[in-house]
Structure 1
Amino acid sequence: MVPGSWPILGHLLLFHGSQPLHITLGAMADKYGPLFTIKLGSTKIAVLSNSEMARECFTKNDKASSSRPKLVAIEHLSYNQAMFGFASYGPYWREVRKIVTLELLSNRRMELLHDVRVSEVQASTKELVNLWSSQKDESSGYVLVDIKQWFAELTFNMVFRMIAGKRFFGAMKTESEEKAERCVKCVKNMLRLLGVFTVGDAIPSLRWLDFGGHEKAMKEVAMELDKILTEWIDEHRQMMDLGEKDANERDFIDVMLSVISDAKIDNVDADTIIKATILNMIIGSSETTTISMTWAMCLLLKNPRTLEKAKEELDKEIGKERCASESDINKLIYLQAIIKETLRLYAPAPLTATHEFSGNCNLGGYNIKKGTQLIANLWKINNDPCLWSNHLEFTPEKFLTTHTDVDVRGHHFELLPFGSGRRVCPGISFGLQMIHFSLASFLHSFEVSIPPDEPIDMSGTPGLVHAKATPLTIMVKPRLSLSCYETRFLFNFDRKC
């Protein structure tokens, strides 16, 4: 147990410091070792911080450590643990995760949604070219763009098209500006609040005081998101009744409606399961994808030689006579290394969502009691100087030489940006597909540069996800012939959504 625990509060003040929590816990690991315990009120939390401890936890002790505690945020924002990512380990979690894996994230489903991803990248690329054409600086030939915002709009369009058939941004959006802002704001607020540790989590008897108003905010966000999801499900039911979609046009909500129907799973009704699962897919893919692409651009702009090597590979494998396609990604080995190195240095979620031990076990020689909670510091694991030379430097080349066989899918415990074991993110392939294709298309299509006298700010936000704290304004201009950007879109945006 780490010293310095306050009476009643325990180490609660650690969770409200100005420094990101993964940095604070990483410094504590340097002092107290790779597995230490802190207290939140009367609750013990084990903090795991190295690869060997992670290997033992997520293999030998995986089942015992795979449950979830019912925190205040989880109660309000996950439909009382109906979201499979926050559900307790058991029959409900297994059944819903199986549906997600087989019906929503299967290779066949990803193939059917290929046109959505391609058309969204094409649409966003053409919109950026049009912006350049109308607003470029005549002397430099560049236009200033907040690329963080551009990535966010592209990702939200892609994710919401695949999940709900909605397009929120751009000239061909299917949702009003008010609806788009309302939905995106709710998702961002939800992610922020999921990273909040309330006094009620540490001291249940004081929960009614709601210090900071966090629980009130959680209830408001949950209510607003429920209204939005209910509207979408009602729309999809009407369209299904009218027979307005064929099998190849079905988005995730359509699939869930056909699979779940009116059935219950472990006494959870169908509509709650559908809303909770769709919301889980949204928060698991939208903001994290944007974050990863934004950090990748920050790192490339701070390392011009790496950026040049990435463009050389794109030109060699794709050329300048056409735009990038998803089939090109397997040939872009250096780009894949860049993404791995970005995820190592800036995992979008530097701490795992909190686990809970469902039984007594032994971890690293320590006896862990049932009910103890667990946080794995993925940032600390991914940046272990004993495993990574020059561990704080951005060097994608390591994944082409000393760490060629290391992947990010939870099998190599020195690199766990998506977690590992039973609770590993089921959407790894889904997310990587979007990141690789979107970033490859952008780097292949545009020349980029930093505005004069504007250094790249690498500060991040606290919370469940570690996003870049400030906008990323860069200079952009096309690098292909303008005819390359005139590709016809593969999707009819005029159909009803």
Structure 2
Amino acid sequence: MIIIILFLMSTFYLLSFFLNKFTTSKLRPPLPPGPTPLPYIGSLISMLRNKPTFRWIHRMMDETNTNILCIRLGNVYVISVSDPNIALEFLKDTDRIFSSRPDSMSAYLTSGGYLNTALAPMGDHWKMMKKIISSEILSVARHKWLLNKRNEEDDNVLRYIYNQCKTNLGVTKGLVNVRIVGQQYSSNMVRKLIFGSRYFGKGRADGGPGEEEIEHADSLSIILVYVYAFCVTDYIPCLRWITDFDGHEKSIRQAILTARKHQDSLIDERIKQWKDGVRTKQDDLLDVFININNPRLNASEIKAQILDLILAAYVNVSNNTEWAMAEMMNNPKIFDKAVHELDLVVGKHRLVHEFDLHHLNYIKACVKEALRLHPVAPFNLPYVTTADSTVAGYLIPKGSHVMVSRIGLSRNPEVWDDPLTFNPDRHMKGDKEVVLTDHNLHTFSFSTGLRGCPGVLLGSTMTTMLLARLVQGFMWELPPNEPHVDLRENLQDLAKAKPLVALAKPRLPQHIYPTLHNA
């Protein structure tokens, strides 16, 4: 059966090729440069032989000396872009053509059938969900409403580290895994904002995650690995009905099932409480979702959107904070400068709070430099073209998948001096406030255009507050026999190859910490 299908596919490809060859005008612009594809399967064999795919794509861009590359995978043109001006053509100048999302097995499953905002294709549902998220969930007014809950989690992460310093000194010698701290902070924060509680279960007495939270976090990590992960069946869709070719579907289905096991029961219970009149006052974002009237969301839409929000918050904050701390610890002058700013603006007799962030330009510059040099993912979520178009003098056929390279933009030597060096001062512009957004796409922090991230305010606040609390609250030293931080990346992604583990010692007056210890 497979041989027959492949024969029919090859025949269809050849007919399409010759028909296109004889009917296309000679004046049609060329495709962007790229490898010569095989009939029908394109460069799929090369893709499978060169894992991880994102490093293969960037290697080809370097070898071809191009900032826009075209690879045909199956019957899909995949366009990779590493130049900010070309990226702006896609995302701002002609964004109505390039703002939809491609159909993908992983995206379909993660979004519950495209019921969320980030992964849904352009259409009425996406417009409705974007409006709800922007005006009801992530608005400035809602951000202020949730301030007390964010304050609780800012205190809790400090309490957790303080407990690690004190109660576990004999066992761990005060060593703290900064990656775990970042993941715990971001997942606790988003749970507190959505569900009103930082734990699915009981958590730990020291403020750390319990079994339920660890299982949930592990499932989120797996989902993020597989969403738009260059799955063969995304490029040859008919194979979806025959086989799980590369095992992606089984892995992501199980991870989604695990994640939603913890979330969905809480959502169903809360919906019932409102329906029965047991709950009458809105206290968190789940209450807001349930009580939106125009239009009213059903349970499936709420569940899909909540998973969307949790995934977005989970990895971005922790990745940025770990890399920022690693780079700063490797350059004590940068770390000391950040400490000096905090001591000058905040002092040592109270904790840094959100109202201080406006004055913490150097802390924000450290966050922005980590976003630039160490983005959370090699590419943004892909866009799909809804019509033939011309960008940078090249033909971009309808149905192409367009991916903007985060590392191509943010490590571009034509944009940045000494691009591989961590230098927060490059973002300091006199008295001008440092902001984490970059609508010129010299860094790809929160994107831009119709698909720009609506969570800029929350994401910026969480990341900056976590770094500020870590730097203000503790002195950080490397473990014995480690002269510097290993800054190597994982082969499979852009995460730090080894989690940052460091010795933390309280640096503020002792009376500040017990209030957190007993919280």
**Alignment TM-score, normalising by the size of structure 1:** 0.89
For residues 448-475 of structure 1, the C-alpha deviation after alignment (integer angstroms, 9 at most, x for no partner) is 0111333423333467x73323321101
Name the structure 1 match of 2:270.
Answer: 236
For residues 370-416 of structure 1, the C-alpha deviation after alignment (integer angstroms, 9 at most, x for no partner) is 11111111210111111111111111101114996884424122122
Name the structure 2 match of 1:127.
Answer: 160
In structure 1, runs of 5+ residues without a counterpart are 265-269
Name the structure 2 match of 1:364.
Answer: 392
Name the structure 1 match of 2:363.
Answer: 335
Give SS of 1:36's match: strand
What is the Cα deviation at residue 323 of structure 1? 1.1
Instruction: Name the amino acid aligned to 2:451.
Output: R
CA gap of 1:466–1:252, structure 2 versus 1, over 3 A, is: farther
What is the Cα deviation at residue 487 of structure 1? 3.7
- Structure 1 CA distance for aligned equivalents of residues 135 and 486 of structure 2: 41
CA gap of 1:202–1:190, structure 2 versus 1, over 3 A, is: same
| Counterpart among 118, 122, 125 of residue 151 in structure 2 | 118
Q: 1:360 touches 1:367 (CA, 8 Å); kept in 2?
A: yes
Q: Which has the higher contact order (CA 8 A, sep 6+)?
A: 1
CA gap of 1:410–1:220, structure 2 versus 1, over 3 A, is: same
- Structure 2 CA distance for aligned equivalents of residues 104 and 380 of structure 1: 32
1:48-447 matches, cutoff 5 A: 48-136=81-169, 143-168=174-199, 169-171=203-205, 177-207=210-240, 208-240=242-274, 241-244=276-279, 246-247=281-282, 250-259=283-292, 263=296, 270-401=298-429, 407-447=435-475
Name the structure 1 match of 2:34.
Answer: 2
- Structure 2 CA distance for aligned equivalents of residues 142 and 411 of structure 1: 44
Instruction: Name the amino acid aligned to 1:37.
Output: C
Instruction: Name the amino acid aligned to 2:503.
Output: M
| Counterpart among 13, 19, 24 of residue 56 in structure 2 | 24
Q: 1:166 touches 1:174 (CA, 8 Å); kept in 2?
A: no
Q: 1:64 touches 1:357 (CA, 8 Å); kept in 2?
A: yes
* RMSD of equivalent CA atoms: 2.7
Higher-Rg member (1/2): 2
CA gap of 1:408–1:480, structure 2 versus 1, over 3 A, is: closer
What is the Cα deviation at residue 253 of structure 1? 1.3
CA gap of 1:167–1:94, structure 2 versus 1, over 3 A, is: same
Q: 1:40 touches 1:201 (CA, 8 Å); kept in 2?
A: no
CA gap of 1:367–1:212, structure 2 versus 1, over 3 A, is: closer
Q: 2:476 touches 2:505 (CA, 8 Å); kept in 1?
A: yes
Q: 2:365 touches 2:434 (CA, 8 Å); kept in 1?
A: no
- Structure 2 CA distance for aligned equivalents of residues 52 and 28 of structure 1: 20
Q: 1:340 touches 1:408 (CA, 8 Å); kept in 2?
A: yes
- 1:448 and 2:506 are equivalent in the alignment: no
- Structure 1 CA distance for aligned equivalents of residues 306 and 88 of structure 2: 31
- Structure 2 CA distance for aligned equivalents of residues 278 and 7 of structure 1: 42
| Counterpart among 70, 76, 83 of residue 37 in structure 1 | 70
For residues 96-117 of structure 1, the C-alpha deviation after alignment (integer angstroms, 9 at most, x for no partner) is 0110011110111111111111
Instruction: Name the amino acid aligned to 2:189.
Output: M
CA gap of 1:234–1:63, structure 2 versus 1, over 3 A, is: same
Shifted more, 231-240 versus 107-116: the winner is 231-240
- Structure 2 CA distance for aligned equivalents of residues 174 and 435 of structure 1: 19
CA gap of 1:348–1:253, structure 2 versus 1, over 3 A, is: same
- Structure 2 CA distance for aligned equivalents of residues 80 and 470 of structure 1: 36
- Structure 1 CA distance for aligned equivalents of residues 373 and 507 of structure 2: 29
What is the Cα deviation at residue 235 of structure 1? 2.3
- Structure 1 CA distance for aligned equivalents of residues 505 and 76 of structure 2: 54
CA gap of 1:365–1:18, structure 2 versus 1, over 3 A, is: closer
In structure 2, runs of 5+ residues without a counterpart are 1-32
Q: 2:77 touches 2:397 (CA, 8 Å); kept in 1?
A: no
Shifted more, 343-352 versus 25-34: the winner is 25-34
Instruction: Name the amino acid aligned to 1:46.
Output: I
Give SS of 1:2's match: coil
Give SS of 2:134's match: helix
CA gap of 1:94–1:86, structure 2 versus 1, over 3 A, is: same
Q: 1:167 touches 1:173 (CA, 8 Å); kept in 2?
A: no
**Alignment TM-score, normalising by the size of structure 2:** 0.86
